[in-house]
Amino acid sequence: MLTLATVNPGEPEVFSSLQGEGPGMGRPSVFVRLSRCNLACRWCDTAYTWRFTGDNRPHRDEVAFERRENQVTLDEQEVAALILSHPEDRLVITGGEPLLQGASLARLVALLKAERPALHIEIETNGSVPPHGALDPCIDQYNVSPKLAHSGNAAELALVPERLEAWSGNVRAWFKFVVASPADLAEIAALQDRYHIASDRLFVMPEGTASSTLRERSRWLAEEALAKGWRFTDRLHIHLYGDTRGT
């Protein structure tokens, strides 16, 4: 069984869109958004996947969501059928933190590959959870987004040394750091140096859920990326659709 986020109560968040971030930005993809997360970012734009009533972990909006309206549990065959009803040849599994449901994802991916062997599968992860042994060989790409101090997460939870070392050594892993201010750049540089992250696989992305915020931060962040040899990524879906579910 898999626990998914919802677009509307009872409606699982499985949708077609353009990938908005990272190395696949602009590519037509089908997305499935899973619920639950082991971290709690203050600026998280999908807090409806984890900040349910009774969860007092800090968030800038201070909104609590009703679990029953924002989660739905389906078996792997149901989720596979929903995904395969979309024509795209790339699947993005996002969250929440998808790797918390690794065993169920392994069963889902097996079903998908049996029907569509050429399906490209990528997982978006915060980098703190290891991939399930049965799942990992079937994944084409990991989009790893370690959470910096400004996220509000304790470093011992968000920046797990053995996990960052493993991701850095994994040729399928791309790093994406969310940047809110120039002060974040020194932390990224220190992580790159400590874990030997290749600059060609290191993206910096402005934090924000409004086009105006992203544009303002992009002006100086793009120049910093150029100076440091890092890659820059925007948040295309925000410019196209706004901060909305199912996009």
CATH code, 73: 3.20.20.70
Residue 95's pLDDT band (cuts 50, 70, 90):
very high
pTM: 0.97
Instruction: Judge whether 147 lies within some domain.
Output: yes
Q: How many domains does the chain have?
A: 1
Share of the chain above pLDDT 70, in %: 100
3-state helix, strand, coil in the chain (%, to 5): 40, 25, 40
Range of the domain at 99: 2-196
Residue 96's pLDDT band (cuts 50, 70, 90):
very high
pLDDT of 131: 98
Computed on alpha carbons and rounded to an integer, the radius of gyration of the chain in Å comes to 17
30-49 mean pLDDT: 98
Share of the chain above pLDDT 90, in %: 100
- Say if residues 33 and 13 touch (Cβ distance below 8 Å): yes
Q: Find where tokens 């998908």 sit.
A: 112
Structure tokens at 58: 């800090």
pLDDT of 8: 95
Element (H, E) at 167: helix 161-168
pLDDT of 159: 98
pLDDT of 237: 97
At residue 80, the 3 state secondary structure works out as helix
Residue 127: which region, alpha, beta or left (left: phi > 0; alpha: psi -120 to 50)?
left
Structure tokens at 22: 């990272």
Average per-residue pLDDT for the chain: 97
Beta partners for 143? Answer: 124, 174
Instruction: Judge whether 220 lies within some domain.
Output: no
Instruction: Judge whether 235 lies within some domain.
Output: no
